[in-house]
Structure 1
Amino acid sequence: MLAGDSGSVPEIPAEFHDLFEKETYAHVVTMFPNGMPHVTPVWIDYDPEDDRLLVNTERHRCKAKNVSKNPAIAASMTDPDDPYRYLSVTGEVEEMTTEGAREHIDELSQRYFGKDYPVEIESERVVLRIRPERVFTANPN
């Protein structure tokens, strides 16, 4: 299924919201200044009230540096319980914020590890708020 081609603003379908409640990893693509893609696996979250994907990173990492120059981004994730069920989103980072970022990484760490974030923070945590422009899904069941 593809959403967002008809000129309407795509939304993450409700039947895929469960991906943000379990240990789903996403592969996020940002663009280096030379035009080459940078892909990295990340923890992924979702703000259903604002329909925004959330990626928490540190300011000094490639993802944050890349989107500060070019906000284009893509994220693809498969259901950890069914690898044929997936959600893929392309869009733009509309905001990179430190507000609540430290608390957010602890929330994500609780979901993925069952404890607060165990890694020393080297710079500053930021949340990338991603506005979907195209949404692709597959759900064979």
Structure 2
Amino acid sequence: MNGGPNRLWVKRAKRTGRLALFFIDPKNMWRWVLLQTRLVETIGDGADEHIDRLSQRYLGMPYRNPKIDRLIVKLEPSGSRSWS
């Protein structure tokens, strides 16, 4: 993942070492998955290039906000729950 170091979710992940990701099917709100993760590391080097690649892939254009530093946030799954 990629985020700014001052974002609440990044600060909380650094403080607790955990992060939960919740995905909902846009066509059926009762179909979802909760992924519990453990923070492996945060990396500053290459984070700007990483967010550009993600933005290019999903939005079709590079992402640039020079006012915000970026971090690559590496996570490891530790558990999951789902409903479908």
* Same fold, judged at TM 0.5 (above): yes
Question: Shift in Å at residue 109 of structure 1?
Answer: 0.9
Counterpart of 1:93 in structure 2 is 39
Q: What do the CA deviations read for 1:75-104 (whole angstroms, capped 9, x no partner)?
A: 011244x43543320121111112331121
Task: Map residues 37-56 of structure 1 onto 2, 5 A cutoff.
Answer: 55-56=1-2
Task: Map residues 1-141 of structure 1 onto 2, 5 A cutoff.
Answer: 55-80=1-26, 82-83=27-28, 84-118=30-64, 120-138=65-83, 140=84
Gaps of at least 5 residues in structure 1 are 1-54
- Give the root-mean-square deviation of aligned CA atoms: 2.0
Question: Shift in Å at residue 135 of structure 1?
Answer: 1.7
CA distance in 2 between counterparts of 1:121 and 1:92 reads 29
CA distance in 2 between counterparts of 1:92 and 1:71 reads 6
Partner-residue secondary structure (3-state), 1:60: coil
Distance 1:126 1:85, change over 3 A: same
TM-score, with length taken from structure 2: 0.77
One-letter amino acid of the counterpart of residue 43, structure 2: T
TM-score, with length taken from structure 1: 0.50
The structure that is helix-richer by fraction is: 2
Partner-residue secondary structure (3-state), 1:91: strand
Q: What do the CA deviations read for 1:30-82 (whole angstroms, capped 9, x no partner)?
A: xxxxxxxxxxxxxxxxxxxxxxxxx21011221222222211210011244x4
CA distance in 2 between counterparts of 1:85 and 1:68 reads 29
Runs (4+) off by over 4 Å: none
In the comparison of the two structures, how many residue pairs are matched? 83
Gaps of at least 5 residues in structure 2 are none
CA distance in 2 between counterparts of 1:127 and 1:79 reads 26
Bigger relative contact order, structure 1 or 2 (CA pairs below 8 A, ≥6 apart): 2
